[in-house]
Protein backbone atom coordinates (compact mmCIF):
# COMPACT_ATOMS: atom_id res chain seq x y z
CA UNK A 1 0.00 0.00 0.00
CA UNK A 2 1.23 3.48 -0.84
CA UNK A 3 2.05 5.61 2.29
CA UNK A 4 0.69 8.70 0.55
CA UNK A 5 -2.73 7.09 0.22
CA UNK A 6 -2.79 6.49 4.00
CA UNK A 7 -2.06 10.13 4.80
CA UNK A 8 -5.46 11.46 3.69
CA UNK A 9 -7.56 9.20 5.91
CA UNK A 10 -5.27 9.86 8.89
CA UNK A 11 -5.55 13.61 8.32
CA UNK A 12 -9.32 13.31 7.91
CA UNK A 13 -9.51 11.33 11.18
CA UNK A 14 -7.48 13.99 12.94
CA UNK A 15 -9.84 16.72 11.70
CA UNK A 16 -12.87 14.68 12.69
CA UNK A 17 -11.41 14.09 16.14
CA UNK A 18 -10.73 17.80 16.66
CA UNK A 19 -14.28 18.63 15.46
CA UNK A 20 -15.77 16.00 17.79
CA UNK A 21 -13.83 17.26 20.82
CA UNK A 22 -14.75 20.88 20.11
CA UNK A 23 -18.43 20.19 19.59
CA UNK A 24 -18.79 17.62 22.35
CA UNK A 25 -17.48 20.23 24.75
CA UNK A 26 -20.23 22.62 23.67
CA UNK A 27 -22.81 19.79 23.70
CA UNK A 28 -21.73 18.89 27.23
CA UNK A 29 -22.14 22.52 28.26
CA UNK A 30 -25.60 22.71 26.73
CA UNK A 31 -26.50 19.39 28.35
CA UNK A 32 -25.35 20.67 31.75
CA UNK A 33 -27.46 23.81 31.31
CA UNK A 34 -30.52 21.78 30.25
CA UNK A 35 -30.11 19.27 33.08
CA UNK A 36 -29.51 22.08 35.55
CA UNK A 37 -32.56 23.92 34.30
CA UNK A 38 -34.69 20.74 34.43
CA UNK A 39 -33.46 19.96 37.93
CA UNK A 40 -34.26 23.52 39.01
CA UNK A 41 -37.73 23.27 37.49
CA UNK A 42 -38.31 19.92 39.17
CA UNK A 43 -37.13 21.30 42.50
CA UNK A 44 -39.46 24.31 42.24
CA UNK A 45 -42.36 22.02 41.25
CA UNK A 46 -41.74 19.79 44.28
CA UNK A 47 -41.71 22.83 46.57
CA UNK A 48 -45.03 24.01 45.10
CA UNK A 49 -46.58 20.54 45.53
CA UNK A 50 -45.35 20.33 49.13
CA UNK A 51 -46.84 23.78 49.82
CA UNK A 52 -50.16 22.78 48.26
CA UNK A 53 -50.25 19.59 50.34
CA UNK A 54 -49.55 21.59 53.49
CA UNK A 55 -52.32 24.08 52.59
CA UNK A 56 -54.68 21.15 51.95
CA UNK A 57 -53.93 19.74 55.42
CA UNK A 58 -55.01 23.04 56.94
CA UNK A 59 -58.16 23.12 54.78
CA UNK A 60 -59.15 19.55 55.70
CA UNK A 61 -58.19 18.78 59.32
CA UNK A 62 -58.49 15.32 60.85
CA UNK A 63 -62.09 14.75 62.03
CA UNK A 64 -61.02 14.51 65.68
CA UNK A 65 -59.36 17.95 65.46
CA UNK A 66 -62.14 19.67 63.52
CA UNK A 67 -63.86 22.76 64.85
CA UNK A 68 -66.83 24.81 63.72
CA UNK A 69 -66.20 26.16 60.22
CA UNK A 70 -63.83 23.31 59.28
CA UNK A 71 -64.32 21.01 56.31
CA UNK A 72 -64.00 17.32 57.21
CA UNK A 73 -63.42 14.52 54.71
CA UNK A 74 -66.09 11.81 54.73
CA UNK A 75 -65.25 8.16 54.19
CA UNK A 76 -66.80 6.37 51.19
CA UNK A 77 -69.03 4.44 53.62
CA UNK A 78 -70.29 7.68 55.21
CA UNK A 79 -70.87 9.09 51.73
CA UNK A 80 -72.93 6.06 50.70
CA UNK A 81 -75.05 6.30 53.86
CA UNK A 82 -75.72 9.98 53.16
CA UNK A 83 -76.63 9.23 49.52
CA UNK A 84 -79.28 6.79 50.76
CA UNK A 85 -80.95 9.52 52.86
CA UNK A 86 -81.97 11.61 49.82
CA UNK A 87 -83.90 11.16 46.57
CA UNK A 88 -82.80 14.21 44.55
CA UNK A 89 -79.36 15.13 43.28
CA UNK A 90 -77.60 16.74 40.32
CA UNK A 91 -76.25 14.86 37.33
CA UNK A 92 -73.35 16.43 35.41
CA UNK A 93 -72.68 15.02 31.96
CA UNK A 94 -71.55 16.08 28.48
CA UNK A 95 -74.67 16.96 26.50
CA UNK A 96 -72.73 17.25 23.24
CA UNK A 97 -69.10 17.81 22.29
CA UNK A 98 -67.63 20.46 24.56
CA UNK A 99 -70.95 21.34 26.24
CA UNK A 100 -71.35 20.17 29.86
CA UNK A 101 -74.78 20.15 31.47
CA UNK A 102 -75.98 19.75 35.05
CA UNK A 103 -79.58 18.82 35.79
CA UNK A 104 -81.54 17.93 38.92
CA UNK A 105 -82.71 14.31 38.96
CA UNK A 106 -84.51 11.87 41.20
CA UNK A 107 -82.44 8.85 42.10
CA UNK A 108 -82.23 5.69 44.16
CA UNK A 109 -79.17 3.81 45.44
CA UNK A 110 -79.22 0.10 44.59
CA UNK A 111 -76.20 -1.94 45.73
CA UNK A 112 -73.81 1.04 45.36
CA UNK A 113 -75.23 1.92 41.93
CA UNK A 114 -77.04 5.23 41.39
CA UNK A 115 -80.27 4.67 39.42
CA UNK A 116 -81.99 7.52 37.55
CA UNK A 117 -85.13 7.45 35.40
CA UNK A 118 -84.94 9.32 32.09
CA UNK A 119 -86.86 10.07 28.94
CA UNK A 120 -85.22 10.43 25.55
CA UNK A 121 -82.60 13.17 25.30
CA UNK A 122 -78.98 14.03 26.07
CA UNK A 123 -78.88 12.31 29.52
CA UNK A 124 -79.93 9.05 27.92
CA UNK A 125 -77.48 9.54 25.05
CA UNK A 126 -74.62 10.09 27.54
CA UNK A 127 -75.56 6.79 29.21
CA UNK A 128 -75.79 5.01 25.87
CA UNK A 129 -72.27 6.26 25.05
CA UNK A 130 -71.16 5.01 28.50
CA UNK A 131 -69.69 8.43 29.33
CA UNK A 132 -68.01 9.29 32.61
CA UNK A 133 -70.39 11.48 34.61
CA UNK A 134 -70.54 13.20 37.99
CA UNK A 135 -73.43 13.01 40.43
CA UNK A 136 -73.74 15.32 43.44
CA UNK A 137 -76.02 15.36 46.46
CA UNK A 138 -75.85 17.80 49.35
CA UNK A 139 -77.63 19.14 52.37
CA UNK A 140 -76.74 22.77 53.09
CA UNK A 141 -78.10 24.92 55.91
CA UNK A 142 -77.64 28.52 54.82
CA UNK A 143 -78.60 29.89 58.24
CA UNK A 144 -76.10 27.91 60.34
CA UNK A 145 -73.51 27.68 57.50
CA UNK A 146 -73.02 23.94 57.79
CA UNK A 147 -73.90 20.87 55.80
CA UNK A 148 -72.43 18.14 53.65
CA UNK A 149 -71.80 17.29 50.02
CA UNK A 150 -71.14 13.96 48.29
CA UNK A 151 -69.82 13.60 44.74
CA UNK A 152 -69.86 10.34 42.81
CA UNK A 153 -67.77 9.94 39.66
CA UNK A 154 -68.54 6.94 37.50
CA UNK A 155 -69.49 5.49 34.17
CA UNK A 156 -73.10 5.93 33.10
CA UNK A 157 -74.98 3.13 31.36
CA UNK A 158 -78.50 2.40 30.24
CA UNK A 159 -80.01 -0.60 32.01
CA UNK A 160 -81.67 -3.17 29.80
CA UNK A 161 -85.42 -3.26 30.51
CA UNK A 162 -85.26 -6.86 31.77
CA UNK A 163 -82.76 -5.92 34.50
CA UNK A 164 -84.61 -2.71 35.38
CA UNK A 165 -87.85 -4.68 35.76
CA UNK A 166 -86.26 -6.71 38.59
CA UNK A 167 -85.24 -3.63 40.61
CA UNK A 168 -86.88 -1.02 42.73
CA UNK A 169 -86.62 2.14 40.63
CA UNK A 170 -86.61 5.81 41.59
CA UNK A 171 -89.84 7.71 41.27
CA UNK A 172 -89.56 10.75 39.03
CA UNK A 173 -91.18 13.94 40.28
CA UNK A 174 -91.48 15.30 36.73
CA UNK A 175 -94.34 14.10 34.59
CA UNK A 176 -93.84 12.66 31.13
CA UNK A 177 -92.44 9.43 29.74
CA UNK A 178 -89.47 8.28 31.82
CA UNK A 179 -89.17 4.74 30.43
CA UNK A 180 -85.41 4.41 30.58
CA UNK A 181 -83.24 3.69 33.60
CA UNK A 182 -79.70 5.01 33.81
CA UNK A 183 -77.14 3.66 36.21
CA UNK A 184 -73.92 5.14 37.49
CA UNK A 185 -71.31 2.65 38.69
CA UNK A 186 -69.05 4.65 41.03
CA UNK A 187 -65.32 4.67 40.41
CA UNK A 188 -64.81 7.42 43.01
CA UNK A 189 -66.94 8.63 45.91
CA UNK A 190 -65.86 11.71 47.85
CA UNK A 191 -67.60 13.80 50.44
CA UNK A 192 -67.07 16.75 52.75
CA UNK A 193 -68.92 17.96 55.82
CA UNK A 194 -68.77 21.60 56.90
CA UNK A 195 -69.06 21.83 60.68
Q: What is the pLDDT of residues 79-105, one digit of tens each?
A: 999 999 999 999 999 988 888 999 999
Count of CB atoms situated within 10 Å of the CB of 17:
10
Residue 71 pLDDT grade (very low, low, confident, very high; cuts 50, 70, 90): confident
Considering the domain architecture, whether residues 186 and 102 belong to the same structural domain is answered as yes
pLDDT of residue 180: 87
Do residues 73 and 62 lie in contact, with contact meaning Cβ atoms separated by under 8 Å? no
In a domain? residue 66: no
Instruction: Dihedral sign for Cα 50, 52, 58, 62, please.
Output: negative
What is the pLDDT averaged over residues 135-164?
A: 90
Q: Is 149 within a domain?
A: yes
Domain of residue 24 covers 1-59
Do both 179 and 134 map to the same domain? yes
> CA of 168: how far to CAs of 70, 107, 133, 139, 185, in Å?
37, 11, 22, 24, 17
Which pLDDT score is estimated for 103? 95
Residue 130 has pLDDT above 70, yes or no: yes
Shared domain for 39 and 129, answered yes or no, is no
Which residue has better confidence, 143 or 1?
143
Quick check: 26 pLDDT over 70?
no
Judge if 153 and 178 occupy the same domain: yes
| Domain edge (last residue) among 21, 36, 59 | 59
- What pLDDT was estimated at residue 164? 67
Paired sense of beta strands 132-141 and 71-74, if any:
unpaired
Write down which residue in 59, 92, 109 finishes a domain.
59
The total domain count for the chain is 2
Domain closes at, from 31, 59, 87: 59
Dihedral through CA 76, CA 188, CA 90, CA 130, nearest 10?
-140
Amino acid sequence: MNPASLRLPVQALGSADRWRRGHLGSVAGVTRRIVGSAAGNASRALEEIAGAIDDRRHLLPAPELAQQGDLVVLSPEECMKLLMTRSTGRLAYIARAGVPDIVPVNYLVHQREILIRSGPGPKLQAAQRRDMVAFEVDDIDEVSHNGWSVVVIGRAAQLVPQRAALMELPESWASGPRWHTLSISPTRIAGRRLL
